[in-house]
Amino acid sequence: MSEIRTDWTKSEIEEIYNTPLMELIYRAATVHREYHNTGEVQVCTLLSIKTGGCPEDCSYCPQSALYQTEVDAEPLMQLNEVIDSAMQAKASGSTRFCMGSAWRNARSNKDFDRVTEMIKAVNSMGLEVCCTLGMLTEEQALKLKQAGLYAYNHNLDSGEDFYEKIITTRTYNDRLTTLENVRKANLSVCCGGIIGMGESDGDRLDLLHTLATLPKHPESVPINALVAVKGTPMEGREKATVWEMVRMIATARIVMPASMVRLSAGRVDMPVSEQALCFMAGANSIFAGEKLLTTPNNESDQDKMMFGLLGLEPRKAFKEELEKIS
């Protein structure tokens, strides 16, 4: 059984990443089998509860107020609208519901209180609740946990050197501090990145190295292919290829064997055959539903057909906890 290690060196990860592709997939599939049921994929739904108008300058993001995109700024959604969305997500087979806001950070105000109400309501529906609200203090993380939050998503996005070229309004260290605060509150950590922004293989390796050497691996690692949105500085960039996605997913799977690796943004125009390669390489989670946060996602019916075709089943909610008790 491969070991769970947090002392990976960059050159060890580099060697894995550069393994010939077929061999890499085989290795990743082997590790995947040791730690997970390969017939199971977690189905998550995203909802943008506060869209657009964000003061940050993340170059990839259509929600930054600094870029002229087709995304307009909207206020925080009402509780009942969120409940309706979560009910729909549950009815269509999702077991995790992730609410995202275009905030630099959470602030202790009425909007934050409303988000805690949303968390309580969605948690009481038996869904794993996840939020991504920007930077958090330890105190805020604890409040969210007390409201029933299960996981918190905060991505490192890329390696530290490349990060500084795409975001200037907050530092890599700020991100790491938020991740620490989330851990201190005993929340499940969801943290990954994006490929296809113009970064080098070395930058991707830096990201994987940082993730795999955190004191504890994130329980969930989303791998996004950049969705190049009109109006952002990334407009017109060519999409990462399936081979780049597979290499990234497989390496993540091998260095963080017990984590859920999520095939996230960029799935929308992938044929089933390409998605199957990603599952083979160790991806075991997806976002379902017609939209990610602001961009289109795969049709639910097509995802259902794909699950049938590939013999995949949606993973149950709170599986990790259930396994601990049984």
Active-site residue numbers?
Answer: 54, 58, 61, 98, 130, 190, 262
DSSP summary character for residue 283: -
The least distance separating ligand DTB from the CB of residue 34, rounded to whole angstroms, comes to 25
How many other CB atoms sit within 10 Å of the CB of residue 290? 10
Q: Is 232 in the site for ligand DTB (CB under 6 A)?
A: no
Q: Is 153 in the site for ligand DTB (CB under 6 A)?
A: yes
Of the pair 233, 314, the CB lying nearest ligand SAM is at 233
Residue 227 neighbours by CB under 8 Å, 6+ apart: 60, 265, 266, 268, 292, 295
Of the pair 140, 153, the CB lying nearest ligand DTB is at 153
The least distance separating ligand DTB from the CB of residue 143, rounded to whole angstroms, comes to 20
Q: Which does 157 bind (CB under 5 to 8 A by kind): ligand SAM, ligand SF4, ligand DTB, none?
A: ligand SAM
- The per-residue DSSP string of 122-190 comes to HHHTTPEEEEE-SB--HHHHHHHHHHT--EEE---BS-HHHHHHH--SS-HHHHHHHHHHHHHTTPEEE
Which stretches of 8-124 are DSSP H helices? 10-17, 21-35, 79-91, 110-124
Q: Which does 64 bind (CB under 5 to 8 A by kind): ligand SAM, ligand DTB, ligand SF4, none?
A: ligand SF4
Give the Cα-Cα-Cα angle 310, 313, 316 (nearest 5 degrees): 160
Q: Is 47 in the site for ligand SF4 (CB under 6 A)?
A: no
Q: Is 226 in the site for ligand SAM (CB under 6 A)?
A: yes
Cα distance between residue 71 and residue 194, in whole Å: 20
Q: 């929340």: which residue's tokens?
A: 187
Q: Is 192 in the site for ligand SF4 (CB under 6 A)?
A: no
Token pair for 60: 């990839």
- Which positions lie near ligand DTB, rule CB under 6 A? 46, 62, 100, 132, 153, 155, 192, 222, 224, 227, 264-265, 292-295
- Residues in contact with ligand SF4 by CB under 6 A are 54, 56, 58, 61, 63-64, 102, 104, 134
Binding residues for ligand SAM, per CB under 6 A? 60-61, 63, 100, 102-103, 132, 134, 154-155, 157, 194, 224, 226-227, 229, 265, 293
